[in-house]
């Protein structure tokens, strides 16, 4: 675990998650989806703050829905960059110190890569990183791996291919850090030249002797892949419009490409989708990205229950 906090205390980085912790989260998520009424009072009397400095649809609303379904109360700001004291120059550390006085848990999304790590310095309640800049999105990894677990029946001995913006996207890193813990998994990375895999993640895979290859074409990996993880090119992360245009639209999963995939392969996407998956692919049984989004509710409910029980 290194210097990472316990996953039973805070959710900051995917490196925190052990196979045992994942098993506990996934089994509880299954129990909740089978009988949600049994957990309708799990957060009764608890207040959860959702503090979002960046736009969000699925993450913020699934967390707020999860809190409501568990009987908790939400205090929220969906545009904290402008609608909180951050606009007056208040530091993350001070903001988190104050919100810890009002809430029993904090869910935070921020545009800075190290925001959740900064927040750890002053937080006094469980903190959940709901996305930090280009760095990580650990609860997205939880729901991604949960979807693989449910759809494939295993998270071992899989060929996983991640396609798109691997430099600016945080979901790739979070997913790979988790799946690299399991035996037999190999990775393919397909990205534009100016959006290639982060060096830190590459070094992690090399140090842990995890097999991976970098490619320039989806066609190179489409027929052997078990899990195809598509991502969008993140326009908002580019400071230069020309650099964005170099990367945009290079990789599009067409119906023809989907038809070449293994029958038991699955297609995932953290969403939102722009043009990287053709709408025609939605009807294919291998397309699981909407189920993946739905799974976010159950997984986040499970995580909130576990944190509430332990703190």
- Token pair belonging to 307: 């944190």
Per annotation, catalytic residue among 137, 150, 181, 269: 137
Report how far apart, in Å, the C-alpha atoms of 58 and of each of 217, 242, 302 are.
Answer: 29, 29, 16
Give, in order, the Cα–Cα distances in Å from 208 to each of 138, 163, 172, 212, 225.
Answer: 20, 22, 17, 11, 22
Whole-number Å distance between alpha carbons of 214 and 133: 24
Residue linked to tokens 């309708």: 40
Q: Reply yes or no on whether 254 is catalytic.
A: no
Catalytic (active site) residue 109:
yes
Catalytically annotated residue among 109, 170, 288, 300: 109
Using an 8 Å Cβ cutoff, are 228 and 259 in contact? no
137 labelled catalytic? yes
What tokens appear for 294 in the block?
Answer: 């739905």
How far is it, in rounded angstroms, from Cα 95 to Cα 90? 7
Asked if residues 91 and 60 have their Cβ atoms less than 8 Å apart, the reply is: no
Selected catalytic residue, list 58, 118, 202, 204:
58
Q: Which two tokens stand for residue 173?
A: 């890193």
- 66: tokens are 């999860």
Choosing from 10, 46, 50, 59, the catalytic residue is 59
Q: Is 58 a catalytic residue?
A: yes
Q: In 70-224, which ranges are continuous DSSP H helix?
A: 80-83, 92-102, 115-119, 138-152, 170-179, 199-207
Strands of 159-163's sheet in order across: 212-215, 186-190, 159-163, 227-230, 266-268
Terminal CA-CA length for the chain: 20
The catalytic site residues sit at 58-59, 88, 109, 137
């Amino acid at each position: 675990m290194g210097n990472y906090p316990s996953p039973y205390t805070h959710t900051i980085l995917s490196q925190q998650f052990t196979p045992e912790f994942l098993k506990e989260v996934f089994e509880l998520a299954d129990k909740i989806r089978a009988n949600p009424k049994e957990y309708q009072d799990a957060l009764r009397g608890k207040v959860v703050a959702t503090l979002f400095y960046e736009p969000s649809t699925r993450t913020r609303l699934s967390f707020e829905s999860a809190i409501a379904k568990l009987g908790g109360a939400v205090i929220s700001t969906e545009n904290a960059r402008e609608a909180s004291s951050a606009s007056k120059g208040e530091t993350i550390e001070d903001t988190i110190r104050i919100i810890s006085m009002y809430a029993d848990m904090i869910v935070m999304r921020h545009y800075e890569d190290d925001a959740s790590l900064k927040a750890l310095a002053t937080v006094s309640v469980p903190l959940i990183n709901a996305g930090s800049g280009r760095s990580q999105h650990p609860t997205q990894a939880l729901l991604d791996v949960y979807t693989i677990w449910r759809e494939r029946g295993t998270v071992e001995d899989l060929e996983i291919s991640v396609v798109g913006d691997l430099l600016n996207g945080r979901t790739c890193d979070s997913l790979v850090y988790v799946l690299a813990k399991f035996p037999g998994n190999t990775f393919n990375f397909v990205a534009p030249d100016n959006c290639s895999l982060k060096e830190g993640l590459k070094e992690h895979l090399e140090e842990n002797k995890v097999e991976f290859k970098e490619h320039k074409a989806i066609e190179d990996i489409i027929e052997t892949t078990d899990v195809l993880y598509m991502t969008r090119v993140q326009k908002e992360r580019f400071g230069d419009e020309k650099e964005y245009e170099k990367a945009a639209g290079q990789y599009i999963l067409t119906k023809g490409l989907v038809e070449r995939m293994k029958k038991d392969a699955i297609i995932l996407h953290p969403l939102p989708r722009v043009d990287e998956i053709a709408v025609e692919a939605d009807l294919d049984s291998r397309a699981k990205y909407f189920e993946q989004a739905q799974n976010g509710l159950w997984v986040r409910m499970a995580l909130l229950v576990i944190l509430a029980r332990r703190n």
